[in-house]
Chains A and B, each alone.
Chain A
Amino acid sequence: MVAVDARTATKVVVQATINGEPVQFLAEPRQTLLECLRDVLSLTGTKEGCADGNCGACNVVMDGRLVNSCLVLGVEAAGASITTIEGIAPVGGLHPLQTAFLEQAALQCGICTPGFIVSASELLKRNARPTEDEIRFWLAGNLCRCTGYDKIVRAVLQAAEMIHPAA
């Protein structure tokens, strides 16, 4: 008896680092990273809004790049380091963006919020003090239907100030 029958096995073992932790999971080659995160790894904080790369609700950071996890195959995650919304905050605490989103009331239904926070966290890594325009341009890949974006922009400005207070 063999452990794996290559003629009938439909899943591949993928090894990756997710939120700082080494993980192994089984992925069908046709499954997206989004499906693997949600349905295989139970990381349902990453949301599906469109599954074709247009809403940003599923954004994660993969090897330092912001990606739509619906446009990445699960098997492409092999060897990659991935950060999802579940890995944004320190244990027992909140990321300044999460605090700012709460204080600014920058969410209504909240379905887009994980994607916005993941995207904005990458912006603040690259640009410590973004302007309103720079925030709007960076976040144009994330759709929000509830807020009109005003309070989201203010939350990102507040988080930037929290991380790097003006002298």
Chain B
Amino acid sequence: MTTTADRPATSSPTRVISINDGANIIVSHGDYAVIGTRPVRHDGVDKVTGRAVYGGDTRLNGLLFGKVLRSPHVHARIVSIDTSKARAVPGVHAIVTNADLPTAEDREVNLGEGGGNLKYMSDNVLASDLVLYKGHAIAAVAAINVHVAEAACALIEVEYEVLPAVHEIKAAIAEGAPLVHPSLTTKSLGKDTGVHSNITNHARLQIGDPDAAFARADVIAEGEFTTTMVHQGYIEPTNATAMWYADGKVTIWTSTQGSFAARDSTAQILGLPVSRVKAVPQEIGGGFGGKINVYLEPVAALLSRASGRPVKLIMTRAEVFQATGPAPGSYSKVKFGATKDGRLVAASAEIYMESGAYPGSDTGAAMRCLYSPYKIDDMRVDGYDVLTNRPKTAPYRAPGAPQAAFASEQVIDDLARKLGMDPVEFRLLNAAHEGTRLVNGPLHKKVGGIEVLEQTKAHAHYQSDLGTPSPGTKRGRGVAIGYWFNIGLPSSVAISVNADGSVTLVEGSTDIGGSRASIAMQAAEILGVRAEDVRPSVVDTDSIGYTGVTGGSRTTYATGLAAIEAARHVIAQMTARVAKVWSVSPDEVSHDHGAFRAGTRSMSFKDAAGHLDETGGPITGTASLDPQGHGGAFATVTCDVEIDVETGKTQVLKWTIVQDAGKAIHPSYVEGQFQGASAQGIGWALSEEYFMNSKGEMTNTSLLDYRLPTAFDVPMINTVIVEVPNPGHPFGVRGVGEASIVPPMAAVANAIRDAIGVRMHALPMNPGAILHALGTI
């Protein structure tokens, strides 16, 4: 296999490593001692033995258990709440409602990484006058156990005035639709229109003149597409434990993607300075964007204040579906134009994304990613945020981009068909590269889109034939590409040296899928020690500098950079100590590959660590930074499906994902990100949806009826890690968590189109949808 990536002059020639029967391929650059190896993760033994402490495992003396009373209505005014009967239940220690929260101002607050409207945040945690979706929290009880709390909740009497509601985007934007927030007016292109509607914001990105450019196109393809609300589907339910101490300080123990974000949000909602709130991140059982916002933390804190004891709240699975933030549904119209020789010349799109009960959706990111794989001179996208009486939506892995790609990559597929071109060749011909203009204005930095597409084309999967279908089935192959820009954000790391040559590494990034390993390995590479010699710890918000959320594919990039800087800080100090031992000037001592050198003398990191006591005492290296050099990533999916034309069931037979990692620090966990996102994508494509009844109530609130893919639903997932180094990181890291979920739904749809000749316009593409498309039902 070959690669066309232009490599940095310092890197070694490209090599291809095949493992696992060739199913996992790395197109690699650079020679490192630690990076690119596959050590056992540092937190692994605790997690395979059941020792790791997750949020729900939090145990404190005197712990009480809480339960939240939730709205049975989709939209209603709360007329009255009577808690007297519930308070009389033996074993009940506290009951709280919105009245226990400070009055929240209707203003934007800075939470360190994007703001939020304090009134909405507060009302979403405990409803004030209105409930805006089924499951909206109204009151909470703390009791000696969860059963008593649940029984007491049932005795809280709430009088409602039921209001008309809107359940989905098209109904919400229709003339005369009931308004979720009657006082809100539509902002369009930065100006307040004064029009009251469920569209809270309309934004436009435009380059050139697409209307004129379409006139020059020889071939045009277009389509309308819808996707339904889906859930991140983390296996660990949302939870929080809090203690409000007698001195007015509050500690929260929670499973969160960002301990500082949890601290800051909780402090804002409770009206406390951050100095009075400490967040202790417990191990986190999945998040995918869904464990950034706080839902239970402020409530647990209020219950603790009222009871004087620590209180733990854990959602049921039905509550997780109905009362946390799922990913928005969408409605898109997309149009592309090309010349007859296959050059994309024009594009236009409208994307409506639901925000649920409060304003703010993933529309902006969807708009930024929609055209990013391609070089198009004239393009426009309009985006609309739409309120519905559903849970407030939250990020889900590359938030917004998968919905947009489901639309755009199907239209691209249609265009390639009309032109009679191979779908990968067509994408290659139009592929964006360094310097290509993005629809939001900037130029692509160094990116690996072309390399990813070339690896896709060259892969044995793409070169294979589809094989013989089973009787009564049809087979097809689909391809799609997706883009995610990745982010930076602040990170802090501190590294302390032990006398035996090992180091401890303290970080603020919660470890959701192996980041202790990927961060420790970067420190080890700089220090010149083994990955096992670094002992990483994720610590609370009082114990490390501010660190952004584990999200946006930022952690291995940004916290990795902090680890690299902290390690360099260690080396600088140790160089001076070695100079002291050798009685030379520090300028004469260098450090490389784990050894300090001066002239012919050499000392290992371990030996140098043994001299700390006599040369001035302990050494700690620290770094807090806010890096700006993150790099975007492309991913493609190639998938083969087999469709039973009688039952409409689609089986994924074969799946290959190719993605630019920049640099894979721990290749196993990079492959794991690709594979996990692929399975989530298969679920989003074929089975997952918020199934709503005519009243707008979700009816499939269990994991039996909301069908996450099982091991039996998905095949082995071939991966190709392409490494086009990100110039903004010493090792080239881009971040790998999100780009991989952008192309799957479109790839499956394109495979279905290939198999049965029908274009799918809506998710999920379940058996009923296939039979409907075939005209069988």
Contact = CB atoms under 8 A, between A and B. Distances in A.
B259 to A, nearest CB: 16
Nearest to B679: A148
Given A146-B286, A151-B675, A108 B669 contact: yes
B682 to A, nearest CB: 8
A146 B49 contact: no
A105 B38 contact: yes
B712 A153 contact: no
Given A44-B57, A55-B703, A145-B680, A109 B236 contact: yes
Contact of A109 (B53, B284, B677, B710): B284
A39 B145 CA distance: 10
B711 A108 contact: no
A132 interface: yes
Contact of B283 (A49, A57, A110): A110
Interface in A107-160: 107-114, 117, 132, 135-137, 139-154
Contacts of A98: 45, 48-49
Contacts of A94: 45, 48-49
Interface string A79-115: 0000011101100001001100111110111111110
A54 B717 CA distance: 24
B703 A89 contact: no
Contacts of A111: 54, 234-236, 283, 285-286
B418 to A, nearest CB: 34
B514 A108 contact: yes
Interface residues of B, number: 61
A22 B714 CA distance: 41
Contacts of B669: 105, 108
Interface string B419-463: 000000000000000000000000000000000000000000000
B15 interface: no
A115 B421 CA distance: 48
- Interface residues of A, dominant DSSP: loop
A150 B288 CA distance: 19
A146 B711 contact: no
Contacts of B276: none
B47 A113 contact: yes
A61 to B, nearest CB: 14
A28 B91 CA distance: 15
A28 B144 CA distance: 13
Contact of A112 (B40, B235, B671): B235
A25 to B, nearest CB: 15
A84 B49 CA distance: 10
B687 to A, nearest CB: 13
A105 B234 contact: no
Taking residues whose C-beta sits less than 8 angstroms from the other chain, chain A's interface range is 35 or more
Contacts of A49: 235-237, 285, 317, 703
A30 B150 CA distance: 13
B686 to A, nearest CB: 14
A74 to B, nearest CB: 12
Most B C-beta atoms less than 10 A away, residue of A48, A51, A89, A154: A48
A143 B512 contact: no
Contacts of A47: 54, 56, 235-236, 285
B40 A103 contact: yes
B594 interface: no
Nearest to B147: A30
Contact of A102 (B45, B233, B713, B717): B45
Most B C-beta atoms less than 10 A away, residue of A28, A55, A88: A55
B717 to A, nearest CB: 5
B59 A42 contact: yes
Contacts of A88: 49
A161 interface: no
B712 A151 contact: no
A94 to B, nearest CB: 7
A140 B709 CA distance: 9
A117 B48 contact: yes
A63 interface: no
A45 B40 CA distance: 20
A1 to B, nearest CB: 22
15 contacts: A31-B147, A49-B317, A50-B703, A85-B50, A101-B44, A108-B676, A109-B234, A109-B286, A110-B52, A113-B48, A132-B716, A139-B711, A147-B679, A150-B671, A153-B711
Given A145-B235, A153-B716, 17 more contacts: A28-B147, A43-B50, A44-B50, A45-B51, A46-B50, A48-B237, A55-B317, A84-B50, A107-B47, A109-B234, A109-B235, A113-B47, A136-B710, A144-B711, A145-B676, A145-B708, A148-B679
Interface of A: 28, 30-31, 38-39, 42-55, 57, 84-86, 88-89, 94, 97-98, 101-105, 107-114, 117, 132, 135-137, 139-154
**The 9 A-B residue pairs with the shortest CB-CB distance in the complex, in nearest-first order:** A45-B50, A111-B285, A110-B47, A148-B675, A108-B513, A105-B668, A148-B679, A54-B703, A85-B50
